């Protein structure tokens, strides 16, 4: 990939594209190494739990993820608990993973590195 995922912008998802194939996933997964590929109700998703020293830090991170989600028009599932924020990316319209999910996973990881 010639452009770093975190520097890319999400493209509008029309909903008629297929989810990424297993071969495409194998291409993208090394770009977001700390993210887990999970499957829930037959839908593939990217998930990562970020750890913090307290609730306020986890909440601040959650709010920062929310800001970039709004900027990009692509929104995650976020579970917030004391000292942890778990972020899950997938594309609801296509019931699977799209390049946008990998872009947002990379942006989320960069946010965490800045915290």
Q: What is the pLDDT of residues 58-87, one digit of tens each?
A: 999 999 999 999 999 999 999 999 999 999
- Which of 94, 96, 60 minimizes the C-alpha distance to 78? 60
CA distance 69 to 89: 10
Q: Are 65 and 110 in contact (CB under 8 A)?
A: no
What beta strand segments (E) does 1-115 contain? 36-40, 43-51, 77-81, 84-89
- Residues 10-44: pLDDT tens digits? 887 787 899 999 999 999 999 999 999 999 999 99
Q: Check residue 2 and give its pLDDT.
A: 47
- Side-chain-side CA neighbours of residue 5 (13 Å): 20
Q: Are 84 and 49 in contact (CB under 8 A)?
A: yes
The values of phi and psi at residue 102, to 5°, are -75, -35
Is it the case that residue 1 has pLDDT exceeding 70?
no
Q: Are 77 and 34 in contact (CB under 8 A)?
A: no
Q: Check residue 3 and give its pLDDT.
A: 62
Q: What's this model's pTM, rounded to 2 decimal places?
A: 0.94
């Amino acid at each position: 990939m010639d452009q770093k995922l975190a520097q890319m912008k999400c493209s509008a998802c029309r909903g008629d594209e297929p989810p990424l194939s297993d071969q495409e996933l194998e291409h993208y997964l090394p770009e977001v190494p700390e993210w887990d590929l999970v499957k829930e109700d037959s839908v593939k998703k990217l998930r990562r739990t970020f750890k913090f020293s307290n609730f306020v830090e986890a909440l601040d991170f959650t709010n920062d993820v929310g800001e970039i989600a709004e900027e990009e028009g692509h929104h995650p599932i976020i579970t917030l608990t004391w000292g942890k924020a778990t972020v899950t990316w997938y594309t609801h319209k296509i019931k699977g993973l799209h390049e946008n999910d990998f872009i947002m996973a990379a942006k989320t990881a960069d946010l965490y590195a800045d915290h």
